[in-house]
Chain A
């Protein structure tokens, strides 16, 4: 095996290793979450939150692997951004007060049920 191929394979292996570690740690956090959280009363939302723990670990490395960067700074900024963007998904739900206010008005039942979810 030539030196160049070895370089390429080594970088790929390192990348995969980091990816796997991220997934592994996320799975660990997911496990702890499922052990601690009480999902009985709001299972849909609970499972949604659980899913958002694994979501960045799976998809962000795939996104980064396909991205091209011109500088090291750009590589760092653009690689961190998707993870940060997805970190808000877990909490991005309409606050309860807003849901109630909206649903008290003449809003369509479909919209209300979406907000309630």
Chain B
């Protein structure tokens, strides 16, 4: 849009100056023959492309059509054929000077229609030769009127501009320059007093007009540089995502907030280091900006995102030390090893609550009421986890494009560091399948947990079918819910009776009072549903009866996320062992490449 306005305003100004110059001095040589024809064609072709581009921009007024799409289609489908068929019309079928403006435009437009018809007939022949099916011809005739009408409409700006531009002036061109030797132009026979009527504009006036013209462009340019709903406050936001208050706090504790602009309509913030990525908290969500729950969720998400960015193999690297410092700020404690951090995280991440000061989260043991109503801190999957589970998501969107959906983590998918970490984890997962490690680990865990030793995947799947008995049927969270509910409502009817019935069924015990179940519920050995579920999921990791299919799938994922294309599992495993420490992210942010 800026280019369009610049071309419009500066073109008018320069055209008028050139016109004044031509009035003062005519061109030295009248071009004729081939060169004149070529110039005539170039003028017409320029008008044609300009007309198509303006039509393309007008199409973008429809909200569902993106500017790039409209202009791309215009460029491919219309400009090329028009340069061959429309632009030569004034060269070969010039309309005489005696014709008035209306007739001139109409004649050009009518010839456009003939050219369009000729083009579509050519396309019909091409379709017949290429596809050789009657159905395509049927479709073609069905859509012919629409195609013809569309092309003809696009011709209108060209016919109009050509007609107006070629319309002879009512007053002939007057040359005002006296004969001079060193101007390089032919002399004009006019008297000096006539030249005074065509005084060139003063330089300061030209400067003033030019500056005014550029200023005229500046405002629309600033306006177009911001997504339309955001107004001037959103200048520079290449992508804007509506979000909630917790995401604001997430960015605050994660990569930092570069700038923020708050008004009654909402809050626009930019992520530090990426000023073109903007988050928008609307008025409704802005009301809850300082709600401690929102702060807790935001900071806990940030801690989770930092945690997943850490590479256990690079615990002492400078970048990991920086991440560890960020985690220390958030969690208020340091960890000597990755294993220690991992254990602590797995144990406490659901119980993190904002302390009320700085960006510090503290571990909060749930109260009876919180246990009864399951008010734990629920964090979202970090971008690294999302990429690890679905590396193909990165194929769909380049790193700079806007991602639809507006979820918390989607903004962070633009981050190259997270892309690299997520892809490395995804690649390591697939390598574990190819090397057989995943199968061995899963089998070992299953045998240790269940005491069973089945040979095939099917047997394991059958074992995990249906509801398991205690202690595999109750999770730690469910047990805490029960404890909270018993404390709050266990003495009140009808809850008392209902709880006893449900707890007898869940535990296999025959106590008569709900509070009698509390010791059983407090014992972690009785609430192992999580392990059961994990084991059931791990059955999926076992090698099936058709291992080639599993291996083939793993290799196809690796081909997708790396720049390699080996065809044997052994080669992949060897490549990863040798190169995993030297892989980096490709320029387009979608693949792992080996640094040389």
Contact = CB atoms under 8 A, between A and B. Distances in A.
Interface string A26-55: 100100100111101111001000001100
A64 B11 contact: yes
Contacts of B13: 18
A41 B581 CA distance: 22
Interface string A7-36: 110111111011101100110010010011
A110 to B, nearest CB: 17
A114 interface: no
B161 A83 contact: no
A31 to B, nearest CB: 13
A25 B201 contact: no
A105 interface: no
A79 B18 contact: yes
Interface residues of A, number: 67
A94 B71 CA distance: 9
Contacts of A69: 15, 18-19, 22
Contacts of A8: 21, 24-25, 177, 180, 183, 185
Interface in B400-424: 400, 414, 416
B429 interface: no
B471 interface: no
Given A7-B200, A70-B168, A72-B16, A91 B67 contact: yes
Contact of B173 (A15, A70, A73, A78): A70
B8 A88 contact: no
Interface string B199-212: 11101001100110
Interface string B276-290: 100000000000000
A18 B14 contact: yes
Contact of A11 (B15, B46, B200): B200
Nearest to A94: B72
Given A2-B180, A17-B207, A11 B2 contact: no
B238 interface: yes
Interface in B153-197: 161, 164-169, 173, 177-180, 182-183, 185, 192, 195
Interface stretch (B52-60, B118-126, B254-262, B298-306): B52-60
A101 interface: no
A38 B167 contact: no
B334 to A, nearest CB: 33
A40 B589 contact: yes
Given A70-B169, A72-B16, A94-B76, A10 B203 contact: yes
A15 B49 contact: no
A76 B53 contact: no
A25 B6 contact: yes
Contact of B161 (A75, A81, A94): A81
Contact of B275 (A11, A36, A79): A36
A78 to B, nearest CB: 6
Contacts, number: 252
B203 A14 contact: yes
Contacts of A82: 7, 11, 46, 50
Interface string B42-85: 01001101101110110000000011110111111001000000
A55 to B, nearest CB: 9
B203 A80 contact: no
A93 to B, nearest CB: 5
A38 B15 contact: no
B462 interface: no
> How big is chain B's contact interface, by range?
35 or more
Contacts of A42: 398-400, 588
B200 A10 contact: yes
Given A2-B180, A4-B195, A87-B53, A52 B173 contact: no
Nearest to A84: B50
A88 B214 CA distance: 20
Contact of A83 (B10, B43, B221, B588): B10
B546 interface: no
B587 A41 contact: yes
A72 B19 contact: yes
B232 interface: no
Contacts of B548: none
Nearest to B23: A72
Given A78-B46, A79-B18, A80-B50, A41 B10 contact: no
A60 interface: yes
Contact of B164 (A46, A73, A87, A95): A73
Interface in A58-117: 60-61, 64-65, 67-88, 90-95, 98
Nearest to A46: B400
Leading 10 A-B pairs by shortest Cβ distance? A83-B7, A79-B15, A41-B399, A92-B75, A80-B11, A88-B53, A85-B49, A84-B50, A75-B19, A87-B3
Given A77-B164, A85-B49, A95-B72, 5 more contacts: A7-B199, A8-B180, A21-B207, A71-B167, A83-B10
20 contacts: A3-B192, A4-B178, A4-B195, A7-B24, A29-B2, A41-B398, A57-B6, A60-B14, A67-B43, A71-B169, A73-B169, A74-B164, A76-B11, A76-B15, A78-B46, A80-B11, A81-B161, A82-B7, A88-B75, A94-B76
Interface of B: 2-4, 6-8, 10-22, 24-25, 27, 43, 46-47, 49-50, 52-54, 56-57, 66-69, 71-76, 79, 161, 164-169, 173, 177-180, 182-183, 185, 192, 195, 198-201, 203, 206-207, 210-211, 214, 217, 221, 225, 236, 238, 274-276, 398-400, 414, 416, 587-589
